[in-house]
Amino acid sequence: MTLQTVTWMSAFLCLAQVCSMPMPCQLQGQLVRITHNLLRDMGGNFPLECLQENVFVAFPATAFSTSGAPQLSSSGAMAIYETLKNIDTLFGADDLPTKWDQRKLENFQNIVYRQIEESKCMMGSVDTSDYLIRTEGLKTYFSNIAAVLKEKEHSACVWEITRVEVPENLVQSKKYLDSRVKP
């Protein structure tokens, strides 16, 4: 009986040690792809009546610009992290269209939140000048989207435009991530 107890305790302690080990500090490209697909699919086809809305908010070119370095820079990773935080805030609003697939929307929100939580460790050493250039552009971009939503009284069409626009930003972050991280 004592040997069995010791065996179980050893197995438990070993498992506890493995589970408490730190996770690697990185964004998962697969999750970026899933969030992109969920966001793209949650609303179905773009409504034709929304084509007349003239809303354009330019994504900042500096957010994921490459400096030629083969590795994922800390400021580039932080730009992805900041993008996810802003997407989380934007799509955490109470006035999202009710016609969107709520299950896909909830999955999208959960995966974005998971990516934010798993990438918090990137808050460490960051090249501040490069980081500020990247994040200021992102901050302005998402502020402009929020302003357009407010100006247009959170209309379904502006939300649809936002739903189509944001996945393109995720594509940019995924391309940046793929160009910097070896598989």
Confidence class of residue 95 from pLDDT cuts 50, 70 and 90?
confident
Which residues, in sequence order, are CB contacts of 109 under 8 Å at separation 6+? Answer: 88, 91, 92
Instruction: Tell me the chain's radius of gyration from C-alpha atoms.
Output: 20
Does the 26-180 domain belong in CATH 1.10.10.10?
Answer: no
Domain boundaries, the chain: 26-180
CA-closest candidate to residue 36, choices 143, 139, 172, 176 = 172
CA-closest candidate to residue 59, choices 176, 178, 182, 179 = 176
Cβ neighbours, 10 Å, residue 38 = 21
Residue 119 and residue 84 in contact, taking contact as beta carbons nearer than 8 Å: yes
How does pLDDT run across 103-154, given as a tens digit for each residue? 999 999 999 998 888 777 665 555 566 667 777 878 888 888 898 899 989 8
